[in-house]
Amino acid sequence: MKILIADDELVSLRMLERTLERDGYEVVAVEDGRTAAERLCDPHGPRLALLDWMMPQLDGPAVCRAVRRKRSQRHVYVVLLTSKSSKEDIVEGLESGADDYLIKPFDPGELKARLRTGLRILELEDHLLEAREDMRYKATHDSLTSLLNRGTILELLSGEMNRIHRRKSPIAIVLGDIDHFKLVNDTHGHVAGDEVLRETGRRLLASVRSYDFIGRYGGEEFLAVLTNCGMDAAMKRAEDIRKAIGGSPFLTSQNPVSVTMSLGVFAGDTADYRSLEEILCEVDSALYAAKSAGRNCCRLAVPSNPR
């Protein structure tokens, strides 16, 4: 664990530095409060700090206040070191944002114990953040394919539509459906079917740009939102997706499975439509046209209900 120590008394600073290094800490030593605040406010800076109360430029409590104002993502555990011992001083130090308070001269064993307390609190925060991120991921992603789920891809599409209305930039929406997917399940089993869906997700991601959005729309349907993409580019991208899906068999735990995909494409000015639902109806109609044309092909939506 990286720890910052700040003290303008060089002898005390070096002694503390050696003590902490022997205990396995990676020490960042500074001699004034302003430098300490800059290092601790850095998002990649130390998350554990020992600050002397009296320092040039900024004192310990001022450093604490600066850190609490500017670094809001991950907690920095701060211990103030001082010879001040009145209750008023303790209250002032803690209200400035310090987590703990140690009166000089301090016992090295007590210092180590207080730092271990800080480490436990930081570890607990890390576990909570990981749990929160895991919950966020599960709430926004499809559990089988790891693509965005239906609600999230539609939310992103809605936001992208608002953005392009302001910037007048093109957008394309591609809705793809695996042809005869029920036959895959019936012939090879649902385990193989799930493997086909997962591999479809991987091939879709490999067929679009890193800043495009791909989501599982439902069942064997997948929705792609292609930003800054006009009609010609959208049709080419859809054709790339079609070839990526049907170009080679899917290797499952049962047998190799060959599948194809039909795709409907919308590319145009979304301002001509009253709602997202109308646009989705257009791209769904294009997908139906691809199915009716014999499957394993792409069809462009023909506007039928503009405003």
Q: Which of 49-53, 78-82, 87-91, 133-137 has the lowest mean pLDDT?
A: 87-91
Distance of alpha carbon 169 from its chain centroid, rounded? 25
**CATH number of the domain encompassing residue 100:** 3.40.50.2300
Residue in the structure block whose two tokens are 């792609």: 224
Between residues 191 and 273, the one the model is more confident about: 191
pLDDT at 187: 93
Residue 288 lies in a domain: yes
Average pLDDT over residues 213-231: 94
Shared domain for 168 and 235, answered yes or no, is yes
Question: How high is the pLDDT of residue 302?
Answer: 77
Report the percent of the chain where pLDDT is more than 70. Answer: 95
Last residue of one domain, picked from the residues 113, 139, 165:
139
Which tokens is 83 given? 């010879």
Edge-to-edge strand ranges of the sheet holding 26-30: 26-30, 2-6, 48-52, 77-82, 100-103
**Could you report the per-residue pLDDT of 105-158, keeping only the tens digit for each?**
888 889 999 999 999 999 999 999 999 999 999 999 999 999 999 999 999 999
Q: Do 85 and 170 fall within a single domain?
A: no
Q: What is the pLDDT of residue 103?
A: 86
CA distance 111 to 5: 13
Stretch 221-246: mean pLDDT: 94
CA distance 62 to 6: 13
Last residue in a domain, options 90, 114, 139: 139
For residue range 151-191, list pLDDT tens digits in order: 999 999 998 888 877 777 788 999 999 999 999 999 999 99
Q: Is 191 in the same domain as 237? A: yes
Same domain? 62 vs 168: no
* Per-residue model confidence (pLDDT) at position 305: 52
Average pLDDT score over the chain = 90
* Whether residue 43 has pLDDT greater than 80: yes
Q: Which of 42, 44, 35 is nearest to 62 (CA)?
A: 35
- Are 105 and 232 members of one domain? no
Look up the domain containing 94 and give its range. 2-139
Is the CB of residue 301 less than 8 Å from the CB of residue 266?
Answer: yes
Query: Residue 234 and residue 240: Cα distance in Å, rounded?
Result: 10
If asked whether residues 78 and 128 sit together in one domain, one would say: yes
How many domains, the chain? 2
d(C-alpha 294, C-alpha 291), whole Å: 6
Q: b vs e for 285-298, b when ≥16 Cβ sit within 10 Å of the residue's Cβ?
A: bbbebbbeeeebbb
Residues 129 and 227 in one domain: no
Q: How much of the chain, in percent, has pLDDT values that exceed 90? A: 67
Out of 160, 195, 199, 220, pick the active-site residue: 220
Rounded Cα gap, residues 101 and 45, in angstroms? 21
Query: pLDDT band for position 273 (50/70/90)?
Result: low
Phi, psi of 171 (to 5 degrees): -145, 150
Question: Per-residue b/e over 18-42, b at no fewer than 16 CB within 10 Å?
Answer: eebeeeebebbbbbebbbbbebbbe
Q: Is 220 assigned a catalytic role?
A: yes
